[in-house]
Structure 1
């Protein structure tokens, strides 16, 4: 019986990963048009990386969840030998268009990285690890592929992200329309379980502004982030429902006349001691 349960659990997990890969794969060709927030966060992570005074001759780095390779290209330009890694083959095709033969490309799962132990000096992951159920699992994998003394730089979304959108939807129906992410306490527990040493762990709110709720929804769809980890909503959302959403979201309109979409972001620098 236990073997059957394990097999079913594995099949469910594979199905979830396939759904995530497909969601981002569908977004791949148009991802960059909607990814201003992702670029903003990634640039802050790059700055954090430079502040840590990364000093290594011919340093190698794996960019986990590289997407279209925007930061793979930035890392390569800074002198890193880059492996651009993503669960989605369509994303890797876009990364190759951007980076050409300057990077290596690896279609792999962050929870089971298809590389040998001690393959890299560093790891970089921008807003990808929130799609993993247990943060300690990909962190242990990154610990495995990063050499002793190496450093892992990552960002992930936290509980409270897109709270305005979540509250607006709650005025319309009781279905889940927005993903729920880990709390600060949960993140810290799972980092501790990974065995990595915390060099930096910072939490910050970042607001992105839109003229309408519909434009926010289009951006979320454009980056593939409409995939719901917990429960899929049933049925299509009609025009009348979107008009109700606009009305419900309107109460959050700021003094600048725009609607905020606030994200809670964790910035982490972890050392493989």
Structure 2
């Protein structure tokens, strides 16, 4: 489960200040789950950027792991890579979206009896994993935790379930991600709809607060190209990366202004979409 953005329009996504109550946090999670549910059936085909960025996770896989949890697993996009490295491991995919888990089961199966080489799928919140303390050799997550309102709580939960000597590896997004889309859709007094991302320093602080002692974070820019504005928006909408705010309506003029702004950024390869990808490698 990945990414963030307006549908065909500028829409407000995650508030700059997280909600103060459990009710608001639960409502946000429901909205995220609904957005990704709509995208579940076609997610794997649309998630080209996510798949490319996920490749970096394998560079940090430990030599051995017997129990692995993939948090924000979506339709099981990481499952083949994990299985190539750890064919006998017990793999648990966790996601807040039942439709994504249904797609993961369809693509990768699920064994009824727990044991080596099994794939299992569970609907759960990244900040409240129903797993024992220190039960996982490896926790992985690709482009999911940017949707979580309480970053320190999520990284603390990853620390809780990772055994001593184990490792957590996370890809997430930093400010500057979707900068071109932000520019194209910005209007006076109206959010462009691009998610408010946390920077590298904030992730380092959150990891330390979460109990991690060995913290390595790297940042890189990944850029992808599309033929036109419709293709740009389809690439984001097609992976569920939008949590719309009621009451925002676009005119033809708004769409034409966005198209014109985006065209000023065109290169020989097409219209660019940039991602600032953070990779966190965490150990106790």
TM-score, structure 1 as length reference: 0.88
Distance 2:247 2:66 in 1: 47
Q: Tell me the C-alpha RMSD between the 2 structures.
A: 1.8
- Are 1:194 and 2:206 an aligned pair? no
Partner of 1:4: none
Shift of 1:179: 1.3
Distance 2:140 2:251 in 1: 39
- Say whether the 8 Å CA contact 2:40–2:239 is kept in structure 1: yes
Give the alignment partner of residue 9 of structure 1, picking from 21, 32, 55: 21
Shift of 1:135: 1.6
Give the alignment partner of residue 60 of structure 1, picking from 49, 58, 67: 67
- Between stretches 28-37 and 193-202, larger displacement belongs to 193-202
Shift of 1:47: 2.5
More helix by share: 1
Partner of 2:99: 90
Partner of 2:58: 46
Distance 1:149 1:48 in 2: 14
- Say whether the 8 Å CA contact 2:25–2:149 is kept in structure 1: no
Give the alignment partner of residue 222 of structure 1, picking from 225, 238, 254: 238
Distance 1:155 1:30 in 2: 22
3-state SS of 1:70 partner? coil
Distance 1:131 1:112 in 2: 14
- Are 1:235 and 2:216 an aligned pair? no
- Say whether the 8 Å CA contact 2:200–2:217 is kept in structure 1: no
Shift of 1:155: 0.6
Q: Structure 2 stretches of 5 or more lacking a match?
A: 1-19, 111-117
Distance 1:47 1:32 in 2: 22
Give the alignment partner of residue 139 of structure 1, picking from 155, 171, 174: 155
Q: Structure 1 stretches of 5 or more lacking a match?
A: 1-7
Structure 2 CA distance for partners of 1:182 and 1:131, relative to 1, 3 Å: same
Matches within 5 A, 1:8-157: 9-49=21-61, 54-56=62-64, 59-79=66-86, 80-101=89-110, 102-157=118-173
Partner of 1:3: none
Shift of 1:199: 4.6
3-state SS of 1:38 partner? helix
Partner of 1:204: 220
TM-score, structure 2 as length reference: 0.85
Q: How many residue pairs were aligned?
A: 256
Partner of 2:275: 263
Structure 2 CA distance for partners of 1:209 and 1:173, relative to 1, 3 Å: farther
Partner of 1:158: 174
- Say whether the 8 Å CA contact 1:85–1:108 is kept in structure 2: yes
3-state SS of 2:256 partner? helix
- Say whether the 8 Å CA contact 1:60–1:121 is kept in structure 2: yes
- Say whether the 8 Å CA contact 1:162–1:263 is kept in structure 2: yes
